Structure 1
Amino acid sequence: MGKIRLKGMTWDHRRAVDPLLAARDMFTRRHPEIEVIWHSRPLSGFEFTPVDVLAETYDLIILDHPFMGRVANSGCLLPLGSSLALHDGDFVGPSLATYRMAGEIWSVPVDAACQVAVSRPDLMARLGGHVPRDWQQLLRLGHEARQRGLWLAIGLKGVHSLMTFFTLMANLGRPCAIDPAEPLFEAGAAREALGLMRALLAYCPPQALDWNSIALHDQMSLRDDLVFCPAVYCYATYAEADHPHPLRFHDFPGPQGPRGSTIGGTGLGVSARSAHPGAALAYARFAAELDTQLLFAHHHGQPARRAAWEDAAINDRFGGCYRDTRATMDQCWIRPRYDGYLAFQEAGGDLIESHLRGDMAEAALLDRLSELHAAA
């Protein structure tokens, strides 16, 4: 008999692709009868392509947790709780909880991330090297940066505007609703969060509204005028030594400290339509193991296992990223995951971006966001 061939889909960045390719030999030694072939798609596809569509073609899918409501309703993925020994305490922050819906676990956490701060150490040194711990200190840093011809930074293109809004709302202690039957926000808190975003933008270049998370990291690594970003989904690989200017990561400097960051990361799901469910589950089990995730980390990956975040060699490789953002990760907020939420996420991010560009009044924005949430 020939080999079993599994097709997998991930997203197109070395943080996502390289760990999976590096682990291939390790998996093949254990399961020589199974071959896994990985494909990738852009970040925008990862954020919005429906998982039930991907499940028609791929056996293994790297996905984002806001799809869980749709997954649970459609049954497009296999539930994993009865097949794999998965425990919340083995994963950092609420990583596993993000994939739990309707009493089942639908994905294995293979990558952990949330919105944290990132800096250029060489540029920070020009400003005294003090890392801001809250929003007031952040704005003072922005003032000092502009006096030296430097900028703060943020990536607020589309959905990333919404994520930063979510993070600030949760940090203020008044998180947005995760149930569409409830009002999306308390209006006073929403106005406060938007005001904090506008205050930050006064110290950022205009291009900040054109950047997603990857572009933000790229620009901070390449340009010589972007000193500090308070909130972006962490890409720890940009702290590795092979970058022209390795970045450093820090806890989120929210108005109330590091709490409330909107969790991201990725999970590995198994298609319910796979012709080889046993082989696909074997790979999911392999991907959940600590040794596998340690290997991921040493090939530009961003592990979700708690022990990997605490590993000294991994922290050395990534400039202390995991150690220095752990408080934020452990106090994360989980955004909505109901079936229909992704339509709100896409439209809501564009609306907040439009407001920040000056094209929509605050009152009109809040009304429209509330309407979209209720309709979802």
Structure 2
Amino acid sequence: MTGLRGMTWDHPRAYLPLQAFAERLAAPRITWDRQSLADFEARPLETLAPSYDFLVVDHPGLGHAIATGALLPWDKVFTGDELAAWAAASVGPTWASYTLDDQQWALPIDAATQVGVRAADLATPLPTAWTDVPDASREIATTLCLGGPHAFLMLLAMCADDDRRSPDLLDPQVAEQALDLLTWLWRTVDRTTSLGDPITVHEAIAAGAADWCPLAYGYASYAAGRTGARPLAWAGAPSFATDRPGSVLGGTGLALSAHRDTDLDDVRRWVTAFLADDVQTDLVPSTSGQPAHRGAWDSPEVDRDWGGYYSATRRSVDTAWVRPRYDGWVALQDEASELVREVVDGRARAAAVVTEINERFRSA
């Protein structure tokens, strides 16, 4: 069969491994299209499912995708033993982030979480706690990452309530302290870069427009540097009000459309070949990918090739907070990000915004 189509997102980390894998001719061919990072984060999957067999997805959108019937669970395609083997090979909570209602709606193919990003040649020691970030920002050209949903994701990394028995998403006292700190930083950082997404942040630091961002989703491919650009390095996410890194899981998963007359035998062959250990631990990282396979994260060679990214950020991945995935979460995430930007820009009060976010979460 030659008619398989897929949609991924438009960054070399996403599409270069797929291109390299296609050259092996070891599996059915797929025609891959790309969408922007912003569309990837926000575009409802039911708008793509009629046109694509494979969808590279973000786990927070699963609830809506399931509610609209956009996806076919992988339990309909693979055996429990096959899925269990891939689960065991997945790093951190990546596998669990795509499990809902005892079914596996996507297979993790990319692992990412929020970490510290800096120029590789920056010699100044960087803080491991948010409370020390203001002092460091006086000496280092600093940027935040507040564009799109990332303002709220930064707040969540600092203070999301790990006690899922609580009706609130945010601990009011901790969240207000976090917003006060971000508001102070907003007065000192480069605002143009700070209103961008993680790609904007990495590009800006590589270009010398800033030297450091205390928290943004990491892109290991920037370790190599490019002509005229600085290589980057990373550190674990800083802690806030706890002794562990504060980070919200990102990454991507491979989902299957429920709207297509797809040859499931071809799907099985392609997925089995692509998720093979050698592909995930060799081909994917060597072509700028960032696999979710534990073998890649455990590999000293992969870590060395990408500037120590994997060892520097491993604990942040392993302890990352997994967002709720109910139908409506993505809308709340976008609305809450705008509220966070209003606080740091002086247009709203922290206490009122925290109350509003918690009320919206409780009523969702």
TM-score of the aligned structures, taking structure 1 as reference length: 0.88
Distance in structure 1 (CA, Å) of the matches to 2:205 and 2:96: 32
Moved more, 152-161 or 280-289: 280-289
TM-score of the aligned structures, taking structure 2 as reference length: 0.91
1:120-159 aligned within 5 A: 120-122=119-121, 124-125=122-123, 129-145=124-140, 151-159=141-149
Kindly indicate whether residue 219 of structure 2 is the aligned counterpart of residue 235 of structure 1. yes
Amino acid at match of 1:290: D
Alignment-derived partner of residue 92 in structure 1: 91
CA contact (8 A) 1:120 1:221 kept: yes
Gaps of at least 5 residues in structure 1 are: 146-150
Distance in structure 1 (CA, Å) of the matches to 2:130 and 2:288: 30
- Give the root-mean-square deviation of aligned CA atoms: 2.0
Kindly indicate whether residue 303 of structure 2 is the aligned counterpart of residue 315 of structure 1. yes
CA contact (8 A) 2:194 2:201 kept: no
Residues 290-332 of structure 1, C-alpha deviation per residue, up to 9 Å, x if partnerless? 2222311111111100111122221122101001111111111
CA contact (8 A) 2:183 2:343 kept: no
Identity percentage over the alignment? 31
Identify the match of residue 65 of structure 1 among 56, 59, 68.
59
CA contact (8 A) 1:270 1:281 kept: no
Kindly indicate whether residue 203 of structure 2 is the aligned counterpart of residue 215 of structure 1. no
Alignment-derived partner of residue 48 in structure 1: 42
1:235-314 aligned within 5 A: 235-242=219-226, 244-255=229-240, 256-276=242-262, 277-293=264-280, 294-314=282-302
Assess, with a 3 A threshold, how the Cα gap between structure 1 residues 251 and 41 changes in structure 2: closer, same or farther. Answer: same
Distance in structure 2 (CA, Å) of the matches to 1:305 and 1:78: 23
Distance in structure 2 (CA, Å) of the matches to 1:220 and 1:269: 33
Distance in structure 2 (CA, Å) of the matches to 1:265 and 1:320: 19
Amino acid at match of 2:201: L
The 3-state SS of whatever aligns with 2:354 is: helix
Distance in structure 2 (CA, Å) of the matches to 1:48 and 1:264: 14
Amino acid at match of 2:219: Y
Assess, with a 3 A threshold, how the Cα gap between structure 1 residues 208 and 368 changes in structure 2: closer, same or farther. Answer: farther
CA contact (8 A) 2:111 2:291 kept: yes
Alignment-derived partner of residue 148 in structure 1: none
The 3-state SS of whatever aligns with 2:83 is: coil
Gaps of at least 5 residues in structure 2 are: none
CA contact (8 A) 1:167 1:262 kept: yes
CA contact (8 A) 1:233 1:264 kept: yes
Amino acid at match of 1:93: G
How many residue pairs get aligned? The number is 355
Distance in structure 2 (CA, Å) of the matches to 1:196 and 1:361: 13
